[in-house]
Structure formats: structure tokens, C-alpha cells
Amino acid sequence: MLDYSMLYPESTVSRRAVSMDGMWNFQLDEKEEGIASGWTEGLPSPDSIPVPASFQDFYTEKDIREYAGDFWYEKDMFIPGEWEGKKVFVRFGCATHRAEVFVNGVKVTEHLGGFLPFSADVTDVVRYNAQNKLVVKVNNELSVTNIPCGTTITLSNGKKMAKPYFDFFNYSGLQRSVYLTAVPQEYIFDITTDYELCGEDAKVSYRIDTTGEHTVLVTLCDAEGNVAASAQGKEGVLDVKNAHLWEVRNAYLYSMMVQITDGAEVIDEYRQEIGIRTVEVKDTSILLNGKPVYLKGFGKHEDSDIIGRGFNIGVMKRDFELMKWIGANSFRTSHYPYSEEIYQMADREGFLIIDEVPAVGLFESLMNFMEASTGKQTAFFEKETTPELLKSHLHALEEMIARDKNHPSVIAWSLLNEPESTSDAAVPYFKEVFDKAHELDVQKRPRTFALVMNAVPGTCKCHQFSDIVALNRYYGWYVKGGHEMMDAREMLIKELEGWKAMNVNKPFIFTEYGADTLASEHKLPSVMWSQEYQEEYLKMTHDVFDSFDFVKGEQVWNFADFQTTEGIMRVNGNKKGIFTRQRQPKDVAYKLKQRWESLPVDF
């Protein structure tokens, strides 16, 4: 178990959660002198930047935008006297990709992994009714021992630069909200739920982890605030009569109130919204509440102008409005777990999420989108560093499942994106990862990984671990693009015939397919990069999907244009979006809306 709670920060009768978002002091540490020079007590000559945000797109200097190495944040935090006697934490939504945290010059924690929360217990180092100095050293270098994978080079001027093995910009920093929290000495550490449907009724199994032994009370209220069920004890079952189920695009949330009590006294109280639903795979179907569902939607990114990968509540709202407009019902959190607020919104809006751990770039290529189709082997899982990578991977997986396990919207775990799954050495690595996910998830949700283009019938050695087989395919773009699309169609059909012949008897979904498209380009007849070509490509691909009944999902790559490293294949980023980076529709959005609104509901 993790040594920090993953519960989302909330203020209740017993708790306080104070946002520390706003302008923070900020300073690059190119000489890596910060520790030796006492920056832990405060930064010598800082600038100031917003948190949450990536730092890269604020500045005009390319050396800052491409900076790789250590960089520091600083914030003064006032600790109220009434918190004395409680436990006090600083909780980071994430720090990308690694961090060391100091309060009043004392190191209070460190964390590896850039897309999941962690907390520092600062109870013993803070001064009450006084300002306290919070200092964070962050580092954004890439390697093959942490996820996402890449490398870091040193340029001729001695400056370091990140070289991703993945196709998104290495945005970094304090990209999600930071909270100051206070909880009782005996507090609710974790909540775990599972569901069983029994006709019109439902059983909600729960486990409450606390830091003490006092009595635990659990009360489940419906959306109208009526008590639907209640129980006493750290583990139990809530019998819910006439349960109102959480359905795709028809959400219903109950409120679970958990209390630690000592007689009439409430020691700690925490409330979490839950959705009563079941998810399972049966033969080639994905079942939600026992009914088949077909996934329509996108691979996305947390990516927007100016703040990069910083959580942007307005962009989140716009993205959900666009997904509702176009008739989507799902998305994959490609290629890392997203901000918690996005899962909370998906819970409220009834969207299905494939939650992806940041295991991307596990195929050694700086041009993954090109070399992935060549059959190139990079012996990625045969390195001396592979055990260290596996340790980081499993820790990120444990954090992701601990954080996201109670969201009704999360229906599956994606454990890798486009790894090198065609080598014998990949098999034991995958087995460890898939077994760990099964062990950690009480709900035993389906597990998957996205197969890269050269992982096809007969070459992929790892698809057997997946409960849902997810394909990233670009026939008509990276393979046989342009006027050769007719041959691309034949290749896609041939591959699906190959999977069919293997009698895998599992649902297949496409987690990526797409064509780079400039909103400015119209051509008659079409050419690649034109709007017309994106439409022809999607129609060809969808026609093939529709002729294979084991295809149970289509998630277009990508929802919106997004930033990548610069290169000859990227026109200021990846342009495969159905929407522009500013969230305006390309022409194909209207065609996709027609298709998704006309698809039958059940499959």
C-alpha cells in the first residue's frame, strides 16, 4: 500500500483543503547548484509563474522552452493556529517528472513519476500562525528507467535537451493543483468500492482504510439526499433497493458519506460520489451493467495553448461539450493519467474512460510514429535497466489504480502504449504488469495495451494478456497513404481477417487511427494533409470496422491537435485532431457526428 492517501482533497467538518494555486516563484537550475547553494531555504533570483501550468510556453527564449534538468518552485504558506494538533500535508496533483519537497529548509518527501498525486506530511516542520517556506525541486529529464521513456542529450553549448521516444511535447512542472490539507490524527486513508447487480437491487461492497481503530459508519444517499443504505464497520456490504444504475451517457451518482466516530463525536468525515455499475468482457462484447456497449470517442491529450499540459478547467468543459456534441461516449487518457477533475466530470456526464498509465516510449525510437511500422527491433526489454523501469512502471500503476479505482467512468486500464511487444523478452515484463493490475483492482476491470503497427497476428507476443485487444493502426496514413489508400484498405482487412482467424474471442477496439490534417488545406481531389483526405481516410477505415463484428470500439487519434517536439513530420505539433488545438471543428467533425449519432445503441 502507498504511504500517502490518494483521496481527493476536500474540506469537511473534520478536514481542511486550501488551494495553493496562483503565482509561484520559479527558477531554472542549469548548474544543478540549488541544493549546495541553499535554495531549499528560498530561491536567490526567481521569476514568477502560474501553478498549475507547464512552464515552457510562457517564455520567449528557446533555451527555456527546450530546457531539460532541475528547476525550482517556491511558495510561502500560512499555517493557521487552529490546525495545531491535526496532521498537515502538502498535496501535489502531480510534479513532472520527479520532485523533492522542502519546508522551512527540511526535506519532507520526494516522488518519481509525473502524472499522479503525492503528499508530503509536514506536521512536524511547520510553524503555526506563521508563514512557512515551501520549496520544490523538479526535474524533467527523460530516461529508460522511468515512464514515459526517452533520453536526454547534451548540446554543443553544454545545455541538456530531452529527446522523447513518444510523440508529445515534454511539458513539465507543477501541472496540476497543489493543496494544503489538514486532517485529524485518526483519519480516513482510503475508500474502496465494488458492485454486484441483483435484479432491481444492488450490493455495494466497501472497504474503508483508516489510521486508527474507532468505529466507522458508512451512509449512502441517493441524488435527492435520501438515505439508500447504511452500514457500520471498516468492511461491509450496502444493500441498495431499486438501485439507480450509472449508465453510459446517463449518469447517476450516489453520495457515500464515511465517518470515523467515537460515540456521538465525529472524528473524521469524508464524502465521495460513486456510481453503481458493473463492467465485464464476455466473449467479444464489452458489457456495462450486463449490456453490450460500443466505444465511440477519442485518444486525447491534456494539452492547450500557453499552459501546455497544465490542468485547464475551461478546456475541460469545452472538451466535454464537444464530445457530447459529436456523439462520443468514451476516451482514453492517452498517454498518462489525466487530472482528477476530468474523471469527476466523466462520472457526472456518463463517459467511459480507458485509464492509461504513462508507459509510452517503450520502443527505442525518436521517430516512433515512423519506425513503428518498419518491424524494427530495439531489444527494449533486454536492457540492464529494464528491472528499474519495471519498478517505476509498477509504482505508477499502483498510484493510478489507487487514485482512480472508484470512478464509475473508469472501465478499463491501458497498461502500455505502443510498446515493443514483438520480442520474447517482452512477455515476462508484460505478465508482471498485467498481473499487478489484476491484483490491485478490486473491481477486476478489463486490462489492455495499445498494439503498435508492427504488432500484428503472428508477430505480437503479448496480446494474450489483454482482456480487450486495442489496436493503433494507420493504414492510409503511415502505410499506403494518398492514392494508395485502396491498398491500405486491403491491408487493414487482411490484418483483421488474420485476427479473426486466430479465434481470439475477445473484443477488439481501435485506440488510434487518424490522418494529419491542416484546417487551412482544401483540395479537390484530395491530397494528404487536406481536410478532404481526413474525411476519405476515416470513411475508408470505418467501412472496414463495420464489416468485422468483433470490433467493439473506435477512438480516433486525436480529439484535438496537440504539441509535439519539432521535426520534419510535425507542423507545429501533431495535426490529427478532429478539432483544432483551439477546440474548433475541422470539416470531418460534422461527418463523424453523423456517424456516431446514427450508430445503433447496442452491439
Ligand X SMILES: CCC[C@@H]1NC[C@@H](O)[C@H](O)[C@H]1C(=O)O
Binding site for ligand X (CB under 6 A): 167, 335, 369, 372, 418, 453, 472, 474, 478, 512, 557, 574, 576
In one-letter notation, the amino acid at residue 32 is E
Query: What cell numbers appear for 338 in the block?
Result: 489525466
CA 329 to CA 296: how far, in whole Å? 5
Q: Residue 133 or residue 576: which is nearer to ligand X going by CB?
A: 576
User: Which DSSP symbol is given to 133?
Assistant: E
**14, 82 Cβ separation under 8 angstroms:** no
- Give every CB contact of residue 253 below 8 A, 6+ residues apart in sequence: 223, 246, 273, 274, 275, 347, 348, 408
Q: Residue 212 or residue 482: which is nearer to ligand X going by CB?
A: 482
In the complex, least distance from residue 512 CB atom to ligand X, rounded to whole angstroms: 5
Q: Residue 174 or residue 460: which is nearer to ligand X going by CB?
A: 460
Q: Residue 116 or residue 416: which is nearer to ligand X going by CB?
A: 416
CA 440 to CA 401: how far, in whole Å? 7
HEC assignment per residue over 48-106: EEEECCCCHHHCCCHHHHCCCCEEEEEEEEEECHHHCCCEEEEEECCCECEEEEEECCE
In the complex, least distance from residue 300 CB atom to ligand X, rounded to whole angstroms: 11
CA 305 to CA 463: how far, in whole Å? 36
Question: Per-residue b/e over 70-96, b at no fewer than 16 CB within 10 Å?
Answer: bbbbbbebebeeebeebbbbbbbbbbb
In the complex, least distance from residue 495 CB atom to ligand X, rounded to whole angstroms: 14
CA 557 to CA 517: how far, in whole Å? 11
Query: What cell numbers appear for 368 in the block?
Result: 516512433
CA 245 to CA 335: how far, in whole Å? 30
- In this structure, the dihedral spanned by the alpha carbons of residues 338, 340, 346 and 348, taken in order and rounded to 10 degrees, is -170
**Phi and psi at residue 3, in whole multiples of 5°?**
-95, 20
Q: Residue 136 or residue 450: which is nearer to ligand X going by CB?
A: 450
In the complex, least distance from residue 301 CB atom to ligand X, rounded to whole angstroms: 8
In the complex, least distance from residue 566 CB atom to ligand X, rounded to whole angstroms: 14
Q: Residue 46 or residue 482: which is nearer to ligand X going by CB?
A: 482
Longest dimension (CA), the chain: 77
Q: Residue 7 or residue 453: which is nearer to ligand X going by CB?
A: 453
In the complex, least distance from residue 416 CB atom to ligand X, rounded to whole angstroms: 12
Active-site residues: which are they? Answer: 418, 512
CB atoms within 10 A of CB 570: 16
CA 352 to CA 349: how far, in whole Å? 9
User: Nearest Cα to 180, choosing from 277, 304, 71, 86?
Assistant: 86
- Give every CB contact of residue 57 below 8 A, 6+ residues apart in sequence: 65, 305, 306, 307, 308
CA 53 to CA 350: how far, in whole Å? 27
Cα-to-chain-centroid distance, residue 103: 29
Q: Residue 187 or residue 369: which is nearer to ligand X going by CB?
A: 369
In the complex, least distance from residue 573 CB atom to ligand X, rounded to whole angstroms: 10
CA 312 to CA 177: how far, in whole Å? 10
User: Nearest Cα to 304, choosing from 573, 582, 564?
Assistant: 582
In the complex, least distance from residue 491 CB atom to ligand X, rounded to whole angstroms: 14
In the complex, least distance from residue 499 CB atom to ligand X, rounded to whole angstroms: 18
In the complex, least distance from residue 576 CB atom to ligand X, rounded to whole angstroms: 5
Q: Residue 179 or residue 413: which is nearer to ligand X going by CB?
A: 413
In the complex, least distance from residue 261 CB atom to ligand X, rounded to whole angstroms: 49
Query: What cell numbers appear for 43 in the block?
Result: 530561491
Q: How far is CA 12 from CA 17, 40, 256, 261, in A?
A: 9, 32, 13, 14
Q: How far is CA 360 from CA 405, 415, 479, in A?
A: 21, 9, 21
Q: Residue 355 or residue 512: which is nearer to ligand X going by CB?
A: 512
Which residue number is nearest to ligand X in terms of Cβ?
Answer: 369
Q: Residue 340 or residue 512: which is nearer to ligand X going by CB?
A: 512
Q: How far is CA 343 from CA 19, 84, 511, 528, in A?
A: 19, 33, 19, 35
